Amino acid sequence: MSEPLLSLDVVSKSFNGRQVLRRVSVRVRPGEVVSLLGPSGCGKSTLLRIVAGLERDYDGRALVKGEPVHVHSPHTGIVFQEPRLLPWLTVAQNVGFEEGGRGAGDPRTRALLEEVGLADCGDAWPKQLSGGMAQRVAIARGLFSQPELLLLDEPFSALDAFTRMRLQDLLLGVARRHRTALLMVTHDVDEALYLSDRVLVMGARPGTIREEVELPMPHPRDRADPALARRKARVLDALKDSLAGGARAA
Ligand code: ADP
Ligand code: MG
* Distance (Å) from CA 206 to ligand 2 centroid: 15
Whole-number average pLDDT of the chain: 94
Percentages of the chain per state (helix, strand, coil), in multiples of 5: 40, 25, 35
pLDDT at residue 242 tops 90: no
Nearest to residue 156, comparing CAs of 129, 131, 137? 131
- Of 45, 47, 51, 185, the residue with max ligand 1 atoms within 8 A of its CB, to mutate for a pocket test, comes to 45
Residue 220: CB atoms within 10 A of its CB come to 10
Ligand closest to the CA atom of residue 154: 2
- Is the pLDDT at 141 greater than 60? The verdict is yes
Atom of ligand 1 nearest to the CA of 39: 3
- Residue-level pLDDT at 103: 86
Helix (H) and strand (E) counts in the chain: 7, 10
pLDDT value, residue 145: 92
| Per-residue pLDDT, 248 | 53
- Distance, in Å, from the CA atom of 219 to the CA atom of 195, rounded to the nearest integer, reads 9
Name the pLDDT band for 247 (thresholds 50, 70, 90): low
Residues with CB under 6 A from ligand 1: 15-16, 20, 38, 40-46
Residue 1 has pLDDT above 70, yes or no: no
Q: What is the pLDDT of residue 204?
A: 84
Give the pLDDT mean for 156-184. Answer: 95
CA of residue 187 to ligand 2 center, whole Å: 9
Residue 41 C-alpha to ligand 2 middle, in angstroms? 7
Average pLDDT over residues 220-246: 90
**Angle, helix 131-142 to helix 161-178, in steps of 10 degrees:** 20
* 3-state SS class at 153: strand
Q: How far is the CA of 42 from the centre of ligand 2 (A)?
A: 8
CA-wise closest residue to 178 among 74, 30, 70: 30
- pLDDT per residue over 17-58, tens digit each? 999 999 999 999 999 999 999 999 999 999 999 999 999 999
